Amino acid sequence: MIAGSYLSADVKAMTSVYSAIVATATAALVWISAERMTKTVPSPLGLMWGAMAGLVASLSAAGYVGPIGAALLGLFSGLSCLFLTSVIRNRISHDERLNVLSILAGGGLIGMIGTGVFSAEAFGGTGLISEMATQVLNQIYGLVSTALWSGLASVIILKTLDVAVGLKPPVTTK
């Protein structure tokens, strides 16, 4: 999984697994605690969504953040993804049963920007770049360029499919 990408069993691989576990557990606990405060009954599905939020957020930071940074990453990803889930479901009235947008996009965004913050040596991280602000700007640049590239590629693929076979079935097929 996460440590397998390092192709070794050293401190960096161990740190990546440990930080993923800490962020996942923290986000799950934060999610069900917040559910308990707001709904009085924490749900097993909420526990799973919280764990997923922490795991998604920790993937970009694995190997670069220490235990304190991983716990803070889990805290912020659990709270922000819970907030996004409630906003998308209640205010926007978008039926998103699997919470793909709120968990994956929200947790990924928190994880990418959080990597720049929590990889600092002050949080027990590896200190990718000596200045935190420089690393955060690098992470934001990567986030924006990835979103633009993915959006452009999706538009090209959808337009090609629309010309080739069409995106909507004919009215007679419905």
CA distance 70 to 81: 16
Q: Which residues of 38-47 are buried (b: 16+ CB within 10 A; e: fewer)?
A: eeeebeeebb
- Whose CA is closest to 63, among 156, 157, 134, 127? 127
138 versus 8: which is more confidently predicted? 138
Per residue in 8-42, pLDDT (tens digit) is 778 778 888 889 999 999 999 999 999 999 887 88
The residues spanned by each domain of the chain are 3-128
Share of the chain above pLDDT 70, in %: 93
Q: Which residues have a Cβ under 8 Å from the Cβ of 133 and sit 6 or more positions away?
A: none
pLDDT tens digits for range 62-111: 888 989 999 999 999 999 999 998 877 777 766 677 788 889 989 999 99
pLDDT score recorded for residue 41? 86
Confidence band (pLDDT; 50, 70, 90) for 123?
A: confident
Distance, in Å, from the CA atom of 34 to the CA atom of 53, rounded to the nearest integer, reads: 14
Confidence (pTM):
0.83
Residue-averaged pLDDT of the chain? 87
